[in-house]
Structure 1
């Protein structure tokens, strides 16, 4: 901590980042469009049809912010590719995350006519994922040499998401 006179103490940015990493580790980080990212001529309807989205998950939009953006819109606007009355502009820097906080349908599009080139996404978010399978007993885990690959992937995804959120927070400061 740093004392800035007058007895007020400020936590360094690392403490803020650590807190964000701990509080944001729930849910999965899902890169929209996989390798293609958020770009024209990708069938996001097909992409989303093969995934499950749950409250607490994060959408990760990767795009060139000079040309594209991400707007959350209502269903009618999504269907017409109408960006005139968007609900929220998700765009910050082209590597943007969006937390799915409610069980409902979400609609996103890119303005500037890019929606007509496929840059629109509709997903339905459910309350919670199915319960995980029972974990093996401690004896089985130690016989296999420690944690499962799934737990390593989960930790890596949580850390990656925390880093992205930390970058977002630093941009706000």
Structure 2
């Protein structure tokens, strides 16, 4: 009897310890992170990316909070896919609204206001094997690339103000130990150089031709400068010759004028 009572007590202690451990390990998740529960600018990809980078466990609490006019309804997968507003239970309008994950079942939530669900205000929360199966089927890498591409496109168009670091955190979540940043949205080698090495050779050939053309232009410029200098020297020499000729003509003209002067004027000039 005593051993039986002791066994029951041990089992009771184990139950309490498991409950305490579950309570201690439970996490609270704000759906969407900083985006909260809203119409995401990038559509459904935003909440898929957020859910895929979190590891939900039984006992965790999922918090829906929002600004503006929204609600949250748990629905079946079929209604989730089609955005049919038939809820499992009651559509929740209290802000915030909390849901506790009590089983391994994947759960589906949407906003039933207007066309919010069609615009991407929907999220899938999965636990355990169901979660990892669904996460792998989503091809998270492709989704992340798509989300990052959408961000960069909006930034390029000027419709969104966001730094590269902010885009990384929005798509992949905060950086932490063990995560190596390895994303990018720049051109690929194929996009830059073409599909074969011939494009590289063509570019090298064009570069060489441009360099040779520059050298030819420099040589032509030097030649033109030299020719201009020579012409200037020739002009200066010609000008000096003309000046000498003018001086000679003036001297001859003065001599002729003197010989043609009347005798009286010549005598007057000589007496003077």
Task: Report the TM-score, using the length of structure 2 for normalisation.
Answer: 0.35
> Partner residue of 1:72?
74
> Partner residue of 1:125?
127
Secondary structure of the structure 2 residue equivalent to 1:122: strand
> Partner residue of 2:30?
31
> Partner residue of 2:50?
47
For residues 70 and 40 of structure 1, what CA distance do their matches in structure 2 show? 12
> Partner residue of 1:56?
59
For residues 47 and 89 of structure 1, what CA distance do their matches in structure 2 show? 25
| Residue deviations 1:30-53 (CA, integer Å, cap 9, x gap) | 010111100001510111111111
Q: Which has the larger radius of gyration?
A: 2
Work out the number of aligned pairs and report it: 103
Report the Cα offset of residue 92 of structure 1.
4.3
| Residue deviations 1:114-148 (CA, integer Å, cap 9, x gap) | 10111100121239xxxxxxxxxxxxxxxxxxxxx
Report the Cα offset of residue 106 of structure 1.
0.4
Cα–Cα, structure 1 residues 90 and 102, in superposed 2: closer, same or farther, change >3 Å? farther
**Structure 2 gaps, min length 5:** 1-19, 130-272
**Which is helix-richer, 1 or 2?**
2
Task: Report the TM-score, using the length of structure 1 for normalisation.
Answer: 0.54
Displaced runs of 4 or more, over 4 A: none
1:61-100 equivalence runs, <5 A: 61-64=64-67, 67-83=69-85, 85-89=86-90, 91-100=92-101
Secondary structure of the structure 2 residue equivalent to 1:116: coil
Report the Cα offset of residue 107 of structure 1.
0.2
Report the Cα offset of residue 91 of structure 1.
2.0
Q: Is the Cα–Cα contact under 8 Å of residues 90 and 98 in structure 1 kept in the other structure?
A: no
Q: Is the Cα–Cα contact under 8 Å of residues 48 and 122 in structure 1 kept in the other structure?
A: yes
For residues 90 and 125 of structure 1, what CA distance do their matches in structure 2 show? 23
For residues 126 and 97 of structure 1, what CA distance do their matches in structure 2 show? 20
**Structure 1 gaps, min length 5:** 1-21, 128-173
For residues 47 and 90 of structure 1, what CA distance do their matches in structure 2 show? 23
Report the Cα offset of residue 88 of structure 1.
2.9
| Residue deviations 1:70-118 (CA, integer Å, cap 9, x gap) | 10000000000111x2103362421111101111110000012110111
Secondary structure of the structure 2 residue equivalent to 1:44: helix
Cα–Cα, structure 1 residues 90 and 125, in superposed 2: closer, same or farther, change >3 Å? farther
**Which is strand-richer, 1 or 2?**
1
Report the Cα offset of residue 25 of structure 1.
4.2
**Higher RCO (CA 8 Å, separation ≥ 6 residues):** 1
Q: Is the Cα–Cα contact under 8 Å of residues 75 and 110 in structure 2 kept in the other structure?
A: yes
- CA RMSD, aligned part only? 2.1
> Partner residue of 1:101?
102
For residues 74 and 89 of structure 2, what CA distance do their matches in structure 1 show? 5
